[in-house]
């Protein structure tokens, strides 16, 4: 779907983290809807390097960009030489900043702050030098266990990832005071959709439950899963918000969710309906009681006002649109 009518002919767009989940979806949005735009993707493509928790340091994967015909640069946003090249060799009109250490269980506080906060400041400086509007990924992790509905200004991060994203938001507000470019931070809630498989164990439970069901395994949920609620948002609505944030009514930090909390039980029930299965759910004790968000729901009032954003996908719609891709990934990646 095309979310803006204006032409982007002769415009140059930078997408950091462009081989990741959201970044690759953005890259294809522009390729499919604005083929006259020049799109430059930067990503620290995955290697064998892991964090101390055993998870990969980078989730960027070439398969997310198969079919993309724009320019691709392999590089780390912490690399000052790369940043200098981006500043001097290009003239960007828009920067979509999706690159980050996005693992909420990562323990490397130094790497998290360096990558998510310090490198973002360098990119903001490039945006100002180029006169490029900045749209960046913030996160609902900034809210921690704050009561629902979550509203900007009520943050209480309980891990270094959430802290780093909140630090980005504080930095953005300082830059908003001294520049004419627009700066928009988008606090993503629980995103699911095509392109997330290579996030491995951090991929959404929509995908993970889908693959459990396709394998013929009984879906395993925590006890009380009908009362564990999240604001699950389909990736197409995330893309809508990003595109509309190119020209907001005003700079700011905005929630991107559906404004509705749904349960993990709902996910399994909808998936079984779409996949034509009737497996019996297994309920296991929740080991995360005390460190687990039991209810998230985005207040999207200001997002609607400033961006003209209106979520188009209920969970039923999103899973229905996603299920063919869940099957494809299962056949081509999981079963092989």
Q: Which residue has the tokens 């900043």?
A: 97
Q: For 218-265, how does the pLDDT look when each residue is reduced to its tens digit (9 = 90+)? A: 999 999 899 899 999 999 999 999 999 999 999 999 999 999 999 999
- Provide the pLDDT confidence category of residue 288 given band limits of 50, 70 and 90: confident
Does 161 participate in catalysis according to the annotation?
Answer: yes
Q: Going by C-beta distance under 8 Å and a sequence separation of 6 or more, which residues neighbour residue 281? A: 218, 219, 220, 221, 265, 268
Give the pLDDT confidence score for residue 28 in this predicted structure. 98
Give the pLDDT confidence score for residue 103 in this predicted structure. 84
- Provide the pLDDT confidence category of residue 294 given band limits of 50, 70 and 90: confident
Given 94, 199, 309, 330, the catalytic residue: 199
CA-based nearest residue to 71, from 96, 48, 37, 47: 37
CA-based nearest residue to 75, from 101, 47, 43: 43
Widest pairwise Cα distance in the chain: 58
Assess contact for 253 and 172: CB atoms under 8 A.
Answer: yes
Fold of 12-334: Rossmann fold (3.40.50)
- DSSP state at residue 295: B
Give the pLDDT confidence score for residue 259 in this predicted structure. 98
Give the pLDDT confidence score for residue 291 in this predicted structure. 61
Given 94, 143, 161, 322, the catalytic residue: 161
Give the pLDDT confidence score for residue 325 in this predicted structure. 98
- DSSP state at residue 232: E
Does 136 participate in catalysis according to the annotation?
Answer: no
Q: For 5-34, how does the pLDDT look when each residue is reduced to its tens digit (9 = 90+)? A: 889 999 999 999 999 999 999 999 999 999
How far is 49 from 307, CA to CA, in rounded Å? 38
Q: Going by C-beta distance under 8 Å and a sequence separation of 6 or more, which residues neighbour residue 317? A: 234
How far is 108 from 115, CA to CA, in rounded Å? 11
Stretch 146-171: mean pLDDT, rounded?
96
On the question of pLDDT at 289 being above 90, the answer is no
Record the tokens describing residue 275, joined without a space. 């996949």
Q: If you write DSSP's letter for every residue of 257-318 in order, what string do you get?
A: S-S--EEHHHHHHHHHHHHT--PPPEEE--TTTTSS--B--B--HHHHHHH-------HHHH
Sign for the pseudo-dihedral over CA of 213, 219, 221, 225: positive
- Average pLDDT of the chain is 95
The reported pTM is: 0.96
Q: For 296-320, how does the pLDDT look when each residue is reduced to its tens digit (9 = 90+)? A: 999 999 999 999 999 999 999 999 9
């Amino acid at each position: 779907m095309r979310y803006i009518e204006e032409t982007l002919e002769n415009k140059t767009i930078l997408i950091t983290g462009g081989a990741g989940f959201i970044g690759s979806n953005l890259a294809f949005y522009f390729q499919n809807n604005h083929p006259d735009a020049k799109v430059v993707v930067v990503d620290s493509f995955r290697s064998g390097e892991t964090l101390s928790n055993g998870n990969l340091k980078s989730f960027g994967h070439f398969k997310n960009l198969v079919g993309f015909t724009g320019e691709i640069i392999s590089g780390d946003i912490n690399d000052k030489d790369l940043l200098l090249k981006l500043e001097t060799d290009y003239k960007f009109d828009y920067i979509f900043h999706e690159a980050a250490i996005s693992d909420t269980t990562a323990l490397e506080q130094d790497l998290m702050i360096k990558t998510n906060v310090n490198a973002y400041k360098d990119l903001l400086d490039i945006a100002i030098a180029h006169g490029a509007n900045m749209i960046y990924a913030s996160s609902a992790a900034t809210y921690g266990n704050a009561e629902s509905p979550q509203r900007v200004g009520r943050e209480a991060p309980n891990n270094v990832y959430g802290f780093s994203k909140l630090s980005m938001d504080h930095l953005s507000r300082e830059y908003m005071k001294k520049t004419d470019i627009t700066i928009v931070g988008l606090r993503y809630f629980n995103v699911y959709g095509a392109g997330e498989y290579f996030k491995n164990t951090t991929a959404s439970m929509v995908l993970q439950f889908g693959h459990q069901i396709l394998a013929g395994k009984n879906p395993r949920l925590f006890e009380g899963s009908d009362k564990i609620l999240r604001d699950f948002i389909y990736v197409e609505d995330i893309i809508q918000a990003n595109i509309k944030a190119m020209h907001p009514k005003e700079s700011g930090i905005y929630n991107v969710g559906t404004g509705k909390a749904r349960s993990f039980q709902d996910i399994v029930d909808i998936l079984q309906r779409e996949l034509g299965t009737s497996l019996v759910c297994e309920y296991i004790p929740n080991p995360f009681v005390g460190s687990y968000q039991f209810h998230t729901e985005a207040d999207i009032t200001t997002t609607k006002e400033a961006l003209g954003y209106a979520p188009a996908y209920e969970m039923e719609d999103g899973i229905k649109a996603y299920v063919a891709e869940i099957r494809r990934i299962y056949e081509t990646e999981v079963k092989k």
